[in-house]
Structure 1
Amino acid sequence: MSEYVVEMRNIVKSFGEVHAVKDGQFNLIKGEIHSLIGENGAGKSTMMKMLYGMYPIDSGEIVVKGELMGKLDPKLAIHHGIGMVHQEFMLVSDLTVLENVILGFEPKKGFQIDFEKARKEIQHFIDQYNMEIQLDKKVSQISVGEAQRVEIIKTLMRGADIIILDEPTAVLTPQETRKLFEILNNLKKEQKSLVFISHKLNEVMEISDRISVMRQGFYMGSVSKEETSPLDLTKKMIGREVFLNIDKTYEKAGKRILDVQDVWVPSQKETSKIRGMSLHVNEGEIVGVAGIDGNGQSELIEAITGLRPVEKGHIFLDGKEITNLSPKKVRAVGLAHIPEDRNTRGLNRTMSIEENLVAVEVDKAPYSKGMVMNSPAMDKHAEEMVKLFDIRPTDYKLPTSSLSGGNAQKVVVAREVSMNKKLLVAAQPTRGVDIGAIESIQKTLEEAKKNGAGVLLVSTELEEITSLSDRIIVIHEGKITGELSAGEANENNLGLLMMGGSVEKKLEKEGEAHE
């Protein structure tokens, strides 16, 4: 009998003319954590969605616990002990945690749901794996880390002993990531088999037993953690070395370019309302805004860029008040904006790469004169941007919908940075992009700073915040909980502030402990 609980052999999968997986290979041993890594579009998530039955395979074989699978669907996958924790949680926010866990699999007592039996079964898993879950709270009231634990409990309640986790740490604080890793190691001790999909090589090296790499739909090999390094993995992923250590410049910042004064901004969510926030950005500096998703970052960005009304307070850009001006008028004062969601606010996916590259200033020279478009000027600009930002494919007449996530993001970054505005607001600029695109985008932000722009960087990636920022502001539930210089910041004190704590109080307690 095979030592593998999962074998995926010679897998091929296409979506129309897009060949997502050309030669997929993967196997999983009982009681191991096996990471699957690769660039955006490499095929890793597609491989695991085929294992979970979300996509049918075009050709190849999937063997689960020695049994060759025919047509797989999620119901059949669950029947064979396969569970998947998706990057976007599949929870109903208005239901309690307990109701979410049993949804669709409710134990019955006659014609009624047996909540007492369900509670006992769930509590067994909570105690066994030290999960820390509040069963009677609504999902809307719990943290992101706790919501993820709820998803894991859901898979266990359905009998899963093979668990796929897709980018599980993408929205977690360092403390929540450590808690997740404790749980994963406890699951491993109980002989659960785990697939860990991630972009974060330091986490992959920490949690994995084995690591498999995919590149452009092809399987590039598997190695044990002890046999490799982040540098070797990067070369396998993209075919070259990548340098994420930014050569940060520390020249004296110039005049104040953005001034946010005691601003109050509404939100549908209580935790993300902005309550009396003040901050500033100077020319030639990067100010990072750190926080757990949903704590007011989006509302702050939208208020500055004219996309959301300000209830109270004032916002000044280059000395001119821009409070509640339209996005077009705010841009005219000197703002460029890389939005957090490139698809809804950054791009028109039906338009060409070229059209998206000039979209913000298409009504200005040299791209137009009156009602007449200047096609040669647009072509020249597009050709320069595609080359400078390494946008692939290089045919700028193609629709933007044909691009991978990383290349689509490069189009947004190229357009916004090339305008040389006084303030660049960059919201989650590397979210969901691969390591090669991350390197390119981060260097671009540093270059904008060197050229004298003020940069407001909002990111949930703490490594990105600490490596790029000159100053770091931390927000929690719409308020600033602390401001640190780049030298003062580390994962511990940033994580504490992100959860609403105080660095000063922590230091006081440590001092008392030493006395």
Structure 2
Amino acid sequence: ISLRSPLEAAAAGLGMVHQHFRLVESFTVAENVLLGFGRKAAMKTLTDAAAIVSAKSSEIGLPVDPHKLVANLSIAERQRAEIIKVMLLGARILVMDEPTAVLTDEEARTLLSFAQRLSRQGHAVVLITHKFREVAAFCDRVTIMRHGETVLEGARVANVTEAEVARLMVGDALTVAGRPLSRPGDVCLSVERLSARATAHGQSLNDLGFELHVGEILGIAGVGGNGQEELVACLLGLDRAGAGAIVLDGQDISTAKPDQRREAGLRVIPSDRFDSGLIRELSIADNLALTTVASGSFGGPFLLSRRAMREKAAEAIDAFDIRGATPERPASLLSGGNAQKVLLARELDHGLKVLIAHSPSRGLDMKAAEFVRSAIRRAVEAGAACLLISEDLQEVMSLSHRVAVMNRGRIAGCRQTGDVTPEWIGGLLAGHA
């Protein structure tokens, strides 16, 4: 079968429950369902839609109020609404992408029990998850993918061990390990019992803690959506933690503003270089000056020295090998690798104490990725420290002195890189504390 559009997939009986819900928040549940139905005869009015949603909700055992605005629904209720919507569209094969990522344990059990019942009634359910305990408890067969390739296909769950799954998930990522830290320096960043609310489709932080030493790279591995975005936001002061403390170089910065944290030496390579790092419309010179212009580095407060900004940018272009670029070149015209080099030039500038590197080589070719990693190593060898947060296990293993695993908003375990085994890290990635 060849499917050329979502409409053809739906007509063929394929339904998708996305990890990030496809519902209009300002509409009610019934309105969302009606939107998906178009002009089908069975559902011409909101009254029809509400009645049909209620009937389907009772039939499959997933209660949801059809008259309620999606914006006012809990995460679990939104998921039920999405499931009801695709079921009403005639789905016989239901694909669920990380459906329990933001659910409580009880909500997850309810959802997976529903999926199991559905399969017993003749439907097919494809559960995409990194949690092996869910696979073991609710699935019949398992397929494992790594880096876009299938490494185990359709094996009976009863015939697969947890250790085997861990090895297959990790693969050869552990063959290249970072060098051990011969003598750790002083603690430069301490995070103590940090808790914070979840962002949209995210994961709350739960009593999270770790220490980072001068001259060290601490790698935090984990499947995306386990609190990484929330951790970075709390560390930078973009979101306020509900509890806990963040101590930078002996100073409690838990209530400090983002610019104060930066002034204290905390810098970041964000996960999205354009969304959170650079302003596309501004030149390289302007982007490099963004974080220092307030300090008077280029004159001011009302008149800036464009000449000084261009000279600084020219130095960065040369030092970071930003090929084919000029100080006045807009960031929007840079390749991903060159854009990341501009970020590095800005964030690794004087005053750096701790660098938060969030997926620093994502989307880069091999040469650009190695340049970025080498720059991080040099900064750390010069006396800084780096908190590396990445879903790329090979990147974490090759750069880090220690490796921690983040799962469901907490640090599930931490080891020296040389002591990491496939069973240990694979088990923690899969949700086994």
Fold agreement, TM-score > 0.5: yes
Structure 1 residues 276-295: aligned runs within 5 Å = 276-295=207-226
* Alignment correspondent of 2:420: 489
* Alignment correspondent of 2:78: none
Structure 2 Cα separation of the partners of residues 181 and 320 of structure 1: 46
- 2:198 pairs with one of 261, 267, 291: 267
Unpaired segments ≥5 residues, structure 1: 1-29, 32-50, 53-73, 151-168, 187-202, 207-243, 503-515
**Overall identity of the aligned pairs, in %:** 30
How much does 1:444 deviate?
1.0
TM-score normalised to structure 2 length: 0.65
Distance change in 2, residues 1:484/1:106 (3 Å)? farther
Structure 2 Cα separation of the partners of residues 173 and 449 of structure 1: 34
Structure 2 Cα separation of the partners of residues 392 and 352 of structure 1: 15
* Alignment correspondent of 2:258: 327
Structure 2 Cα separation of the partners of residues 172 and 386 of structure 1: 41
Structure 2 Cα separation of the partners of residues 415 and 88 of structure 1: 34
Structure 2 Cα separation of the partners of residues 354 and 299 of structure 1: 30
Secondary structure of the equivalent of 2:418?
A: coil
* Alignment correspondent of 2:184: 253
Secondary structure of the equivalent of 2:220?
A: strand
Secondary structure of the equivalent of 1:345?
A: helix
Structure 2 Cα separation of the partners of residues 501 and 101 of structure 1: 37
How much does 1:301 deviate?
1.4
Higher relative strand content: 1
Distance change in 2, residues 1:480/1:272 (3 Å)? same
Distance change in 2, residues 1:89/1:408 (3 Å)? farther
* Alignment correspondent of 2:326: 395
Matched-pair contact (CA < 8 Å) for 1:107–1:118: no
Superposition CA RMSD, Å: 4.8
Is it true that 1:315 corresponds to 2:246 in the alignment?
Answer: yes
Secondary structure of the equivalent of 2:348?
A: helix
Structure 2 Cα separation of the partners of residues 88 and 393 of structure 1: 40
Is it true that 1:177 corresponds to 2:145 in the alignment?
Answer: yes
Secondary structure of the equivalent of 1:363?
A: helix
Matched-pair contact (CA < 8 Å) for 2:407–2:431: yes
Distance change in 2, residues 1:352/1:483 (3 Å)? same
Aligned residues between the structures: 345
Matched-pair contact (CA < 8 Å) for 1:271–1:478: no
Q: Deviations over 1:3-58 (max 9, x none)?
A: xxxxxxxxxxxxxxxxxxxxxxxxxxx99xxxxxxxxxxxxxxxxxxx97xxxxxx
Structure 2 Cα separation of the partners of residues 305 and 271 of structure 1: 17
Structure 2 Cα separation of the partners of residues 273 and 103 of structure 1: 32
Structure 2 Cα separation of the partners of residues 349 and 271 of structure 1: 26
Structure 2 Cα separation of the partners of residues 280 and 356 of structure 1: 31
Matched-pair contact (CA < 8 Å) for 1:173–1:292: no
Higher RCO (CA < 8 A, seq sep 6+): 2
Is it true that 1:415 corresponds to 2:415 in the alignment?
Answer: no
* Alignment correspondent of 1:454: 385
Structure 2 Cα separation of the partners of residues 302 and 110 of structure 1: 46
Matched-pair contact (CA < 8 Å) for 1:421–1:453: yes
Unpaired segments ≥5 residues, structure 2: 60-85, 116-127, 133-142, 155-168
Distance change in 2, residues 1:305/1:337 (3 Å)? same
Letter in 1 for 2:145: T
Structure 1 residues 162-241: aligned runs within 5 Å = 177-178=145-146, 181-182=149-150
Structure 2 Cα separation of the partners of residues 466 and 173 of structure 1: 21
Secondary structure of the equivalent of 1:368?
A: coil
Structure 2 Cα separation of the partners of residues 421 and 498 of structure 1: 31
Distance change in 2, residues 1:405/1:180 (3 Å)? closer
Matched-pair contact (CA < 8 Å) for 1:246–1:443: no
